[in-house]
Structure 1
Amino acid sequence: MRFGILDQMAQPKQSSAEEVAAETIKVAQYVEQLGYHSYWFAEHHGTKGLVSSSPEIMMAAIASNTKQLSVGSGGILLPQYSAYKVASQLLQLQALFPDRIEAGVGRSPGGSERIRALLADGKPNQQEEYPDKLAALARYLNREGSVRAAPRTKESPKLFSLGLGENSAELAAKLGIGYVYGHFINPYRGEAALQTYQETFTTGYLNNPLARSAIFIVCGESDDHAEELAISQDAWLLQVEKGLDSRVPSVVEVKARSWNEKDRQRIQNNRKRMIIGGPSKVKEELQVLSERYQCDDWLILTNIYDNHEKCMSYQRIIEMFP
């Protein structure tokens, strides 16, 4: 089993953005010592509590403060940007940190239509152009075509497309690039998507298929301890879905709340996007899911309030798969 982190830099209440950024560097250094392979950053805009808005900058910060950890984006919002500019940024990172750059891109608008338009400098929605932009990005990164992006590095960064179903998997396979399935967003299409990717992969940017899946995991000392920790993530995710305060509430705050039946049902349904439990339960469920997906390469999200407990969760996970 191979593990990395996908960090949205979810901001706990009572913490500033500056404190979250500083803590993120410490977490990355810690998981590198534990044996994690990679540390990826999401791209979110227009939120109160998701600090990761510029994955390229966070990749540089983490790579500068670690020794071997691969750094990645999960993912850059390619439809809103120039493929040439994105390629130039990624190649600049590759020149600074050879063999450590994992470029993940996706077709999300990045927020509301107003946010999307601001990111794209007022240009019309270009989500339908994602396949063409992705193909162009692959060419630029692979030093192909009459116009080449700079700097012209010896090797290209690894390139991944993020997706939630068979269509996105088939696109990544057709281009011969890596694929990351977002189980933490849609837990229902992973088996079909990853099977499609493996079966239709054509040698291109990569010689062999490179598949990963991203999932929420909270691993406590026991099942009960994990449940205690996870209620802050449950409440946070519910708030995000409702468009409310996207900072992570404390366990004490969550326990003081009363949930209506609709909220309780929504929280329960969201648990399908997660694995919550003590080491034995997490190991068993992750092995079952890995077998279903035929994927043993995972990016983990853990958006709980307590940063120390988050690190302990990461430690418990990797210690189960030495």
Structure 2
Amino acid sequence: MITLSVLDQSPVSSGYTAQDALKQTVELAKWTDELGYNRFWVAEHHNTNGLAGSSPLLMMTHLASQTSHIRIGSGGVLLPQYSSYKVAEDVQLLENLYPNRIDLGLGRSPGGDALTRLALTDGVRKSLNEFPRQVQSLIGHLTDSLPREHDFYGVRAFPKSETKPQLWQLGINKRGGRAAGELGISFTFGHFIQPIGGQEAIQSYHDSFVPSSYQQTPHTNVCIFVVCAETEEEATMHAKTLDLWLLKVERGGDTTVPSIDEASRYVYTDEERKKIERNRRRMLVGDVATVKRALLFLQEKYQNDEFLIITNIHDFEAKKKSYALLAEAFKQGKSDNSSL
């Protein structure tokens, strides 16, 4: 049995605005809630015109108010930019408003280049090596078990909540898996970023998992690009907009998702064609039977509990259809939000 969830980056399609993209994220959350998806996560990106999701905690608040069953979370909050104390306050407030529906996915990535990160930290050069300590401090605030070395004169994060948000650490290698395991929280492998080394990362997580006051058993999910349509030809047509978008993201500058017409007219260099071929390992493209078979194969490979599906294509209606076809293929039902 495969559990399906969603990661949405609020991509801005060419010809549309950031406001359009955010409205589409809300519509997609409602749509996948009705389809029975388990979680809906939003991402954090900065200094890019093609991704409107710069503040996941703000977006989560709105999405939770617009949905009924689906868990709402971050994929993820980039903790090095913030204080653990403030994130604990924010997520506990959300958990009080929407009990048993909030996920907090945490990332170590700066979410932009070095200058962007300096702007986010107001010029303070914070070390990414502090990330494990920050996560420990965050857990301490959420569980009233703040280690002495993290205790700033008795300051506590309020409001306290009777239930706790689920905690996930995002990673793309063995180091990330091991860190999540040692902290005793859940682990997300970003196949959509790095399709190599996932087995080792997840195995490292399981091998190093230590039951914690927060979580007694290990849980994993894998995030992957998927473009599913009724025919292979239709899926391939829409995937071409994702292919070109990934090239644009790598180049920088305009990172809006190109249209099918723009992707068809684009003249690719030999090197770009090679990059597209490599990038296709980050995604699944095809009709329902093809994608279902591939997801089942990957689950056997990764031994993961669920998949986070990300579909950054230009045509929003085709995007919704892709999620609907997957839900039907795996017969998704209303999720039990009280458990992982």
The count of residues paired between Structure 1 and Structure 2 equals 322
Instruction: Report how far residue 133 of structure 1 moved.
Output: 0.6
Q: In the alignment, which of 198, 201, 208 is matched to residue 200 of structure 1?
A: 208
Question: Which 4+ runs in 1 deviate beyond 4 A?
Answer: none
SS at match of 2:16: coil
1:249 aligns with 2:250: no
Instruction: Report how far residue 147 of structure 1 moved.
Output: 3.6
Q: Which moved more, 1:241-250 or 1:42-51?
A: 241-250
CA displacement, residues 65-119 of structure 1 (integer Å, 9 cap, x when unaligned): 0111110001111011101011111111111111000000111111011110111
Kept in 1: contact 2:219–2:305 (CA 8 A): no
Q: Give, in whole Å, the separation in 2 of the partners of 1:138 and 1:79.
A: 15
Instruction: Report how far residue 148 of structure 1 moved.
Output: 2.4
CA displacement, residues 118-139 of structure 1 (integer Å, 9 cap, x when unaligned): 1111111320111111111111
Q: Which residue of 1 aligns with 2:193?
A: 185
The amino acid of 2:306's aligned partner reads D
Q: Give, in whole Å, the separation in 2 of the partners of 1:244 and 1:268.
A: 22
1:291 aligns with 2:295: no
The amino acid of 1:270's aligned partner reads N
Q: Give, in whole Å, the separation in 1 of the partners of 2:111 and 2:184.
A: 25
Q: Which has the higher contact order (CA 8 A, sep 6+)?
A: 2
The amino acid of 2:289's aligned partner reads S
Runs of 5+ unmatched residues, structure 1: none
Kept in 2: contact 1:217–1:275 (CA 8 A): yes
1:176 aligns with 2:177: no
TM-score norm. by structure 1 comes to 0.98
CA displacement, residues 32-65 of structure 1 (integer Å, 9 cap, x when unaligned): 1111011101100000110000000111111000
1:217 aligns with 2:226: yes
CA displacement, residues 186-236 of structure 1 (integer Å, 9 cap, x when unaligned): 000110111111222111121111111100000011111110110001100
Q: Which residue of 1 aligns with 2:96?
A: 95
Q: Give, in whole Å, the separation in 2 of the partners of 1:244 and 1:309.
A: 26
Q: Give, in whole Å, the separation in 1 of the partners of 2:81 and 2:155.
A: 21
Matches within 5 A, 1:259-270: 259-270=268-279
Kept in 2: contact 1:41–1:72 (CA 8 A): yes
Matches within 5 A, 1:1-322: 1-145=2-146, 146-204=154-212, 205-322=214-331
